[in-house]
Amino acid sequence: MAIVHIANILAQLAEVSSTEPADADAIDPLAWIVTGLSADSIAPAVSAVQAEIEEVEKLFTDAT
C-alpha cells in the first residue's frame, strides 16, 4: 500500500501541475522506507507523468 500512497500524492501533484511536495498531501515517512524511494524522486516522476499526459492529449486533439 505504500507505493499506492506515494503514487496518489504524485497524481495530486501532476493534476495541479506542480512538483512541490507542499502542494499536495504529505507523504507518510514510512512509505519512503517501505518502498526504498526518496523525496528526490518526486520531481522527475511528476515531470515524466506530465509529459506522458501531454502526449496522450495530443493523440486526442490531433485525431479530430
Is the entire prediction scored with pTM above 0.85? no
Domain residue spans of the chain: 2-62
Query: What confidence category does residue 63 fall into, taking pLDDT thresholds of 50, 70 and 90?
Result: low
Which cell numbers in the block locate residue 40?
528526490
Query: What confidence category does residue 5 fall into, taking pLDDT thresholds of 50, 70 and 90?
Result: very high
Rounded to an integer, what distance in angstroms lies between the CA atom of residue 36 and that of residue 55? 29
Q: Give the residue carrying C-alpha cell 512541490.
A: 20
Please enumerate in sequence order all residues whose Cβ is within 8 A of that of 17, keeping only pairs 6 or more positions apart, or say none.
Answer: 50
Which cell numbers in the block locate residue 8?
496518489
The secondary element (H helix, E strand) that includes residue 55 is helix 42-62
